[in-house]
Structure 1
Amino acid sequence: MPFGGLTVLLGGDFRQVLPVVPKEGREGTVAASLSKSYLWQECKVYTLLENMRVERDVSTISVEGKVLNFKDWILNVGNGLQHAYDLDGSGDFSWIKIPEELLVSYSGDPNKAIVDEIYMDLQERHGSIDYLRERAILTPLNENVGKINREVLGRLPGDCTVYRSSDSICKGSCNNAADDILYPPEFLNSLKYSGVPNHELEMKVGVPIMLLRNLNPKKGLCNGTRLIVTRCYRILIEALIITGNKSGEKTYIPGICMSPADKTMPFVLKRKQFPIAVCYAMTINKSQGQTLKNVGLYLPNPAFGHGQIYVAISRVTSPSGLRILCVNEDEKYAGYTKNVVYHEIFNDIVPNNLSEP
């Protein structure tokens, strides 16, 4: 019997980002999802009916002349039911109109514009825990996350403390005696991987950070936990936890050895660095599970994965806290963004199998 006959609760939302399968396209991603597993026929589906994140009695929004409840708009985007257009003539009807009240207009540098919108009073409140806890900028790619974080760091008073990693090749991953010559430290330092901090980390006291690894779940130090830096030591970072059930507690973060899951290189990189990232901005995928009052969705390029737009817009508690900036050089795309939804992922969630909890 599956799971030895034990009752197992599997929680999740098929509207959100699906499993990441390297070097696989849409079919491979859908095939790796729970609803395509042989276990799915043994499952009974229960649905949650009320959005507990969105505040009650929030203002409505206007989409293409129609007044919509904010919760309903979020669900329409997540289910792929929001009216979509084929703006590029490719036959891909995935471009949706963004409500006017959520759009950010800009001239000049879009990075500066979205930072001004979300961190408008940063100079006066950069040390406020509540101010930092309730806001973030979300964007699809790590490259843009780094640019925004550098933009915000440059506005803060004080000097940066720079922490540099110690990079080497895991000796058990290859047997080539010439590896140290083929892959010098300068080359290893230049490598960037998702989920692994970069060679150089710039820190200042008062900066919000996010853990990239589970360090001590009992003490609230889990992957995704957000903290504020309170002191920078040479081999330790002192920080205050600002999310989770250990919020308000002080902790110390050491440097640890990490290796990326990426297998494209002929060796395994071993990087000793603090398992953290500055989180004035974060990727949309990394924001899953977070609740924020102010979210800036920054789209220098359209979202590329299933559910990314839904995840971003569903992090906020009200429409007044959501601002969206799209960088579209072509005028015909102004006010529109791409909403990627794999409709086939919902096929196995049969309506007559749904029950109220």
Structure 2
Amino acid sequence: MRVNEYTIDGHLDTRKHEFNKWVLDIGERKVPATSKNRDDEPTWIKLPEEFIVKSEKTPIEAIVHTIFANFIERQEDEDYLLERAILTPMNHDADEINKHVFKQLQGATKTFKSSDEICKGSTDAIEQQQSYPVELLNELNFPRVPPDKLKLKIGQPIMLLQNEYPSAGMCNGTCLIITAFQKFVLQARIITGSHIGKTVIIPRIVLTSTQSRWPSS
């Protein structure tokens, strides 16, 4: 669903088309599979060589170099950025990839720190504040919640993770480029959707985790 089979000038990209067809064939069980380790069902498939990123150094460096070739020279090319994405199901892997790419971005780094605290509406909030100090909360990593220290640069691509102002184009999944930042707000330019080119302000917002093993924070 996320792989656009057409180039910017409207021509069909044969390689992307073949990749999409292969993924659909896997879902429809058209790709031959085998069993290993006494599996009850055949669930192992052979990956085509043309879809494999071979690693000579580290896997992260290899996949970033393959997907974002010539990144240093083209990091301000919005069309180049929109044509590429690296997807991973694990937050840890996404963080490591982001760190690797972030180091290659030009410009000074601005660090934004979270303001973690136990939800005031939580049961036994006072006792929980004593059991879960801020230092511990800062170390936790929740899905769809940024890390305690968010490092950003002017010109960096970012993506919204929740609906903020849908009528203005600020929806979950919207991609933007940071153009300026202050202590509590970010200024960014939308580069996807129906509001491309519009400059918006992203304020500091409250995010609440609902994971049951931790108190609301």
Q: Structure 1 length normalisation: TM-score?
A: 0.56
Distance 2:93 2:208 in 1: 23
Distance 2:97 2:80 in 1: 18
SS of 2:121's equivalent?
Answer: helix
Change (3 A) 1:213 1:176: closer
Map Cα deviations across residues 100-142 of structure 1 (whole Å, 9 max, x no partner).
2222111221111111111121111111111111111111211
1:200 corresponds, among 137, 149, 153, to 149
Map Cα deviations across residues 159-203 of structure 1 (whole Å, 9 max, x no partner).
211100101111211125333221111011111110111111110
Q: Which residue of 2 aligns with 1:146?
A: 95
Change (3 A) 1:59 1:175: closer
Distance 2:216 2:72 in 1: 42
The letter for the 2-side match of 1:253 is I
1:80 corresponds, among 29, 51, 65, to 29
Q: Which residue of 2 aligns with 1:213?
A: 162
Query: Percent identity, aligned pairs only?
Result: 37
Q: What is the alpha-carbon root mean square deviation over aligned residues?
A: 2.2
Is 1:58–1:70's contact at 8 Å kept on the other side of the alignment?
no
Distance 2:27 2:81 in 1: 27
Offset, 1:234:
1.4
Q: Structure 2 length normalisation: TM-score?
A: 0.89
Asked if residue 160 in structure 1 is aligned to residue 109 in structure 2, the reply is yes
1:59 corresponds, among 14, 18, 21, to 14
Residue correspondence of structure 1 range 28-107 to structure 2 within 5 A = 53-55=4-6, 58-59=13-14, 72-107=21-56
Question: Runs of 5+ in structure 2 lacking a partner?
Answer: none
The letter for the 1-side match of 2:14 is S
Distance 2:13 2:120 in 1: 57
Change (3 A) 1:247 1:108: same
Is 1:238–1:253's contact at 8 Å kept on the other side of the alignment?
yes
Is 2:178–2:186's contact at 8 Å kept on the other side of the alignment?
yes
Question: Runs of 5+ in structure 1 lacking a partner?
Answer: 1-15, 17-51, 62-67, 270-357
Aligned length: 212
Map Cα deviations across residues 51-110 of structure 1 (whole Å, 9 max, x no partner).
x9534754379xxxxxx9555423212222211122344334222222222221112211
Q: Which residue of 1 aligns with 2:132?
A: 183
Asked if residue 268 in structure 1 is aligned to residue 206 in structure 2, the reply is no
Distance 2:23 2:195 in 1: 30
Please state which structure has a larger fraction of its residues in strand: 1
The answer to which structure, 1 or 2, has the higher relative contact order (CA under 8 A, 6+ apart) is 1
Asked if residue 236 in structure 1 is aligned to residue 185 in structure 2, the reply is yes
Distance 1:192 1:125 in 2: 32
